[in-house]
Amino acid sequence: MEIKYVPTICPYCGVGCGMNLVVKDDQVVGVEPWKRHPVNEGKLCPKGNFCYEIIHRDDRLTTPLIKENGQFREATWDEAYDLIVSKFGEFDPNEIGFFCCARSPNENIYVNQKFARVVIGTHNVDHCARLCHGPTVAGLAASFGSGAMTNSYESFEHADLIFCIGSNSLEAHPLVGRRLLRAKYGNGAYLIVADPRYTPTAKHADQYVPFKTGTDVALMNAMMNVIISEGLEDKEFIEKRTKNYEELKEMVAKYTPEMAEEITEVPADTIRDMARKYAKADKAAIVYSLGITEHSHGVDNVQQTANLAMLTGNIGRLGTGVNPLRGQNNVQGACDMGALPTDYPGYRKVMDEEVTEDISCTWGCSDLGCEPGLKIPEMIEAAYKGDLKMLYITGEDPVISDPDVNHVIKALENLDFFVVQDIFMTDTAEYADVVLPAACWAEQEGTFTNGERRVQLIRKAVDAPGDSKVDWEIFCDLAKRMGADPEQFTYESAQDIFEEVRTVTPQYAGMNRERLEKPEALHWPCPSEDHPGTSMMHVEQFSHPDGLGIFAALEEKGPMETPDDEYPLILTTTRILFHYHAAMTRRAETLDREVPTGYMEINTEDAAELGIINDEIVKVKSRRGEIEIPARVTTDIMKGIVNIPMHFRECSANVLTNAAAIDPRSGMPEYKACAVAVSKMEGGK
């Protein structure tokens, strides 16, 4: 009997915790935290501790499946490939779309987007960053020139003040939450948490600021109004390192704390107090997550955090910065790899003719075109209208995770041909014409890039079950069958692919296998092999060509859908500690036992007015659908707002959410604010 420990990275959130998979008799039987790993230092959250429970489940996909007469039958790879290739040939490239997988290694994602562009000839390539941190990519790129976290997690522990807005770190990113607690309790940092819910994170705050969901712009404009009017801005930083300050100053002048109080429901004196504390701190860090991005003005929200940081000179120093906490384990890497309809690898723009020519030369192809492709919501809408004919989804589950699920299902049913590549028969895969079995993260080599831009190795622990294959192998097989240049789609290993990634992704150019073998790995940008990597960005200058940060003067817009007499409450959605996207954590028996189904949080006053008692099954209805769900009556949420975790198919929050409310700058749907009505069930007490 041999027991071995295989170092790898957790497959859940974007924190990127190190772990050892414990392998006995060719089975992963447990997890041991990686004690030397700099991200988590030997600690794991519940999801990480029990991630191994999904690897050897009996319901893993092990053979290709083809749907005939409404039923799936087992098929050979040759049968599945032949069918898919024939269907690719029936449609115009712009009638075909691809969803890449942000839980898959960089190497798989790179080959996926390359296949879509080189073999199929479409830029209709996207992934779930569109539905979580698309506004971060767009907003921070507009403000700073780079759409990524500015500092490292370790940097938080050097802050004098941490302003946490729209992030419940202790549940959604627990090992970052641990850093925040160490900053507060160990180093004396002052913690401000602004959130409509009194979350586990908020309960540790020195100052908890409840505010009306969707009013982030007004709140931060008023903070900047106070900072400027009281002369607390960093004049030297503004003069030397930024532009457009006068436009910002003029805009925020009208956003007095009293005006913002009317919009946000935060007392004017509280706004003044938090603004002063933030501005007067020597080192102030901003931490945010989906609470500010998943809005129809998500890019504006993100740029407001950048405005605050530049206004006070809190950028480019240890303990400062603007720090988005990424959702999925490799959502940062998926952006880096070019799984975006507007960007090639390394954020090189599709619309730039010189870039497209250079990429075409590197990939040995022609006519890539400079017209950006469709974003995920646009592909769903095009499928619904019949303009998108074929969709190929790898490792995404839009029937659970996308807004207005009923609309999504109708769109998928309207496709002429639909392929899903995954490790389980997901809710989305049920609608496919062909389902391909993929290897999971423990069954392959590669790299993940975490939220602090740290590129880390994952290592193969066991073989994939049955006939399942690694994603990049599947795309290479298809490419060769379609007559693609074999030199462009022949790789011996994930390492071969990574070497190619380095040639087209400037941020990764200096990374090699030897350097990544170290526990600390490397942060991008790392432009050369003698470069140490970059844990802290924008130290001397920003990433714009002129080196200057750009202030953005932004008006408060608020949610697109607001309460009325018929739908008087605002719904927001969240993640919880024990669950992630349902296809994985709900198959981990230990995690599923902890929280076996969903619930709706409702304020005690709202519940009393509706005659609702704790644990009662209620009906929640929006303009798009309705669900039945247990109520949790609590004072931990503001009056007028209800909250539903997004993980549970039997009471899916995304049956209710609004796919029509879209951020025009990033394509982000407004998950965090839609109008709903809550009522007792017929015959209920």
Is residue 551 assigned to a domain?
Answer: no
Mean local confidence (pLDDT), 291-311: 97
Mean local confidence (pLDDT), 613-620: 97
CATH code (residue 23): 2.20.25.90
Q: Do 215 and 69 share a structural domain?
A: no
Is residue 239 assigned to a domain?
Answer: yes
**Pick from 260, 292, 324: which residue ends a domain?**
324
Residue 241 has pLDDT above 80, yes or no: yes
Question: What local confidence, expressed as pLDDT, does residue 683 receive?
Answer: 64
Question: What local confidence, expressed as pLDDT, does residue 132 receive?
Answer: 81
Contacts of 243 (CB under 8 A, 6+ apart): 548, 549, 550, 551
Q: Do 581 and 452 share a structural domain?
A: no
> How far is 321 from 308, CA to CA, in rounded Å?
10
The distance in angstroms from the start CA to the end CA of the chain is: 59
Decide: 390 and 396 in contact? Cβ < 8 Å: no
Residues paired with residue 9 on neighbouring β-strands, in sequence order:
18
Tokens of 253: 């002048």
Nearest one of 481, 669, 418, 516 to 106, comparing CA atoms: 516
Q: Do 238 and 358 share a structural domain?
A: no
Q: Do 298 and 174 share a structural domain?
A: yes
Q: Do 93 and 48 share a structural domain?
A: no
For residue 512, the enclosing domain spans 65-131+329-523
Reduce the secondary structure of 565-582 to three states and give it as a string: CCCCEEEEEECCCCCCCH
**Element spanning 176, H or E:** helix 174-181
Question: What local confidence, expressed as pLDDT, does residue 263 receive?
Answer: 98
Residues paired with residue 600 on neighbouring β-strands, in sequence order:
631
Query: Which phi and psi (to 5°) does residue 638 adopt?
Result: -65, 150
% residues pLDDT > 70 (the chain):
99
Nearest one of 579, 472, 659, 544 to 143, comparing CA atoms: 544
Mean local confidence (pLDDT), 270-275: 98
- What pLDDT, in 10s, does the model give residues 76-124? 999 999 999 999 999 999 999 999 999 999 999 999 999 999 999 999 9
Is residue 575 assigned to a domain?
Answer: yes
% residues pLDDT > 90 (the chain):
95
Q: Do 375 and 318 share a structural domain?
A: no
Is residue 142 assigned to a domain?
Answer: no
Q: Do 202 and 114 share a structural domain?
A: no
Q: Do 275 and 174 share a structural domain?
A: yes
> How far is 110 from 471, CA to CA, in rounded Å?
10
Question: What local confidence, expressed as pLDDT, does residue 367 receive?
Answer: 80
CATH code (residue 204): 3.40.228.10
Report the alpha-carbon angle 145-146-149, nearest 5: 140
Question: What local confidence, expressed as pLDDT, does residue 33 receive?
Answer: 84
Residue 47 has pLDDT above 70, yes or no: yes
CATH code (residue 605): 2.40.40.20
**Pick from 291, 324, 357: which residue ends a domain?**
324
Say which residue the tokens 């995304």 belong to.
654
Domain count, the chain: 4
Contacts of 450 (CB under 8 A, 6+ apart): 9, 14, 15, 16, 39, 326, 329, 332, 456
Residue 1 has pLDDT above 90, yes or no: no
Q: Do 506 and 359 share a structural domain?
A: yes
pLDDT band at 375 (very low <50, low <70, confident <90, very high): very high
- What pLDDT, in 10s, does the model give residues 656-677? 999 999 999 999 999 999 999 9
- What pLDDT, in 10s, does the model give residues 149-206? 999 999 999 999 999 999 999 999 999 999 999 999 999 999 999 999 999 999 999 9
Q: Do 168 and 111 share a structural domain?
A: no
> How far is 606 from 589, CA to CA, in rounded Å?
35
User: Taking the C-alpha atoms of 123, 126, 129 and 135 in order, what is their torsion angle to the nearest 10 degrees?
Assistant: 40
* Pairing verdict, β 18-24 and 27-33: antiparallel
Q: Do 203 and 316 share a structural domain?
A: yes
Q: What is the DSSP string of 561-625?
A: S---SSS-EEEEEE--TT-SSHHHHTTSHHHHHHS-S--EEEEHHHHHHHT--TT-EEEEE-SS-
Count of Cβ atoms closer than 10 Å to residue 605 Cβ:
13
Reduce the secondary structure of 15-34 to three states and give it as a string: CCCEEEEEEECCEEEEEEEC
> Average pLDDT over the chain, rounded to whole?
96
pLDDT band at 134 (very low <50, low <70, confident <90, very high): confident
Residue 621 has pLDDT above 70, yes or no: yes
Query: Which phi and psi (to 5°) does residue 627 adopt?
Result: -140, 160
Q: Do 235 and 352 share a structural domain?
A: no
Question: What local confidence, expressed as pLDDT, does residue 130 receive?
Answer: 87
> How far is 148 from 535, CA to CA, in rounded Å?
11
Is residue 562 assigned to a domain?
Answer: no
**Pick from 287, 307, 324: which residue ends a domain?**
324
The whole-model pTM stands at 0.96
Contacts of 326 (CB under 8 A, 6+ apart): 13, 14, 132, 133, 149, 332, 450, 451
> How far is 129 from 214, CA to CA, in rounded Å?
20
Question: What local confidence, expressed as pLDDT, does residue 682 receive?
Answer: 78
Report the alpha-carbon angle 244-246-250, nearest 5: 125
Mean local confidence (pLDDT), 576-598: 90
Decide: 52 and 23 in contact? Cβ < 8 Å: no
Nearest one of 602, 595, 588, 589 to 648, comparing CA atoms: 595
Longest CA pairwise span in the chain (Å): 72
Is residue 104 assigned to a domain?
Answer: yes
Is residue 538 assigned to a domain?
Answer: no
Mean local confidence (pLDDT), 640-669: 94
Residue 360 has pLDDT above 60, yes or no: yes
Is residue 534 assigned to a domain?
Answer: no
Residue 684 has pLDDT above 60, yes or no: no
- Distance set, CA 145 to CA 234, 269, 306, 317, 318 (Å): 21, 34, 11, 17, 20
